Amino acid sequence: MTTCRAVMPGPRPHQRYDGMKTLIRNATVVLPEGCCRTSVLIDGARIGDIDPAVQLAVDESVDASGLYLLPGVIDDQVHFRQPGLTHKEDLRHASRACAKGGVTTFFEMPNTRPSTISCQLLADKLALASSLSLVNYGFYIGATPENLPELQQAERTPGIKVFIGSSTGELLVDDQEALERIFGQTTLPICAHCEDESTFQRNLARWGGTGRVADHSRVRDEAAAVIATQRAVELALRHRHRFHVLHMSTGAEIELVRHHHQLITAEVCPHHLFFNVDHYPRLGSRIQVNPSVKTAQDNRQLWQALLQGQIQVIATDHAPHTLEEKQRPYPQSPSGLPAVENALALLLNQVNLGRCALEQVVHWMCEAPARVWDVLNKGAIMRGYDADLVLVDLHKQAEIRDEHQETKCRWSPWHGTTLTGWPVRTWVLGQEVFREGRFDESHTGREVQFDHALGGYWQRRLS
């Protein structure tokens, strides 16, 4: 492996990359049809060839013997806090965390300040990211009870985000008539945070004053999640509207989506796979999230549903707060945790433990999000696709440490955990942005392109 200087060598800002060729040699490449040991040619911003001719003139040759080449991760649920809450996170720090973690594309949620609830505010966010983000980007438009015309006109977005519970102010949509209009009179794919507001408020009155963070899982209990998910699924089925269930947290929700994959998809987050109520004594508010962590049985059921294809996507719901904020007494402590730079490594560690296959991880974190959100030319290593790539060392061991995190909040709920299997190099649109702890910030990612006429999850197959 080439030793990297403090500042990575490479092209400077505004330099054209059209003719630059990089050959990644002798990697085990995760292709749509399976793993094979071969070489991949990066030609400009695209994948130029797979298993190219041996005698090939290139600008750079990377010996990847013993390493695995994956498509870049697409994280379809993050909160990067800019604008308005940049003391917690910002696009520069968050996109560095993405590059370090093998995430080459993110889709960010609308609950910033101001909330992204109009086409103009969506365009403003896209313009902001164009100069700040190291990786590719997209932004959801948020639904309110009153912004139906904006939702109908919106373009340049993966879809519409609805907060059915678990929000305040303009982004909370709990009124049935408003939900009927959103599902019945828009065409973009919809995703939702599903926790029933009335159940939450009733539980909060009973458990919110105890001061015990473990009671968060009583306040935001299984019933709150199931009631709201069932409500959203019924809306989607009745209106024949594509719908994605965000951060599924309970085994009971799985039955609601099991038989509707042409129209309804679902995702799970690492914290709902790995943490449960038994971890509150050790981790406290570090694992206070919405929806809350549930039981060890829910962990097992979510894993089973993921392995059986009933849940299609793994996303992080990266939602950082400062440690000072998290250490406030419950319920003043805010919900959310950082995860974007460690999620892929957490899953690679599971590959090493034999719980899942590397091809499954690529499907959950790369291929499936591209299909769900109609992303063009990403999510797989194929000729002509964007050269968003991550090289991983399945044998590398490293410990997650708060002080080593790139996220601006500088902590992780997995602090002190040693994982085997880590990203070591990341390319975005053919440009190497991360290598063994160093970043090339002369490059910025690009706005993701969507084609929502492609249809649902099962209609978009890789061949």
Tell me the CA distances in angstroms from 178 to 116, 181, 240, one per residue in order.
18, 5, 17
Residue indicated by tokens 């990266």: 318
CB 313 within 8 A of CB 257: no
**Residue ranges for the chain with pLDDT beneath 70:** 1-18, 166-169, 454-463
CB 46 within 8 A of CB 17: no
CA atoms within 13 A on the CB side of 116: 31
Sketch out the chain's domains with CATH numbers.
78-376 (3.20.20.140)
Q: Would you call 189 exposed, middle or buried from its count of C-beta atoms within 10 A (0-12, 13-18, 19+)?
A: buried
Secondary structure string (H, E, C) spanning the chain: CCCCCCCCCCCCCCCCCCCCEEEEEEEEEEECCEEEEEEEEEECCEEEEECCCCCCCCCEEEECCCCEEEECEEEEEECCCCCCCCCCCCHHHHHHHHHHHCEEEEEECCCCCCCCCCHHHHHHHHHHHHHHCCCEEEECEECCCCCHHHHHHCCCCCCEEEEECCCCHHHECCCHHHHHHHHHCCCCCEEEEECCHHHHHHHHHHHCCCCCHHHHHHHCCHHHHHHHHHHHHHHHHHHCCCEEECCCCCHHHHHHHCCCCCCEEEEECHHHHHCCHHHHHHHHHHHCCCCCCCCHHHHHHHHHHHHCCCCCEECCCECCCCHHHHCCCCCCCCCCECCCCCHHHHHHHHHHHCCCCHHHHHHHHHHHHHHHCCECCCCCCCCCCECCEEEEEEEEEEECCHHHCCCCCCCCCCCCCEEEEEEEEEEECCEEEEECCEECCCCCCCECCECHHHCCCCCCCCC
Tokens of 409: 């909040």
- Tell me the torsion sign for CA atoms 178, 180, 185, 187: positive
CA atoms within 13 A on the CB side of 299: 12
d(CA 252, CA 244): 17
Tokens of 405: 């995190």
Tokens of 203: 């539980």
Tokens of 426: 């990341």
CB 257 within 8 A of CB 187: no
Name 461's Cβ contacts closer than 8 Å, sequence gap at least 6: 371
Name 320's Cβ contacts closer than 8 Å, sequence gap at least 6: 79, 81, 88, 89, 336, 337, 338, 407, 408, 409
d(CA 132, CA 441): 9
Q: What is the pLDDT of residue 105?
A: 98
Residue indicated by tokens 């649902």: 456
CB 422 within 8 A of CB 82: no
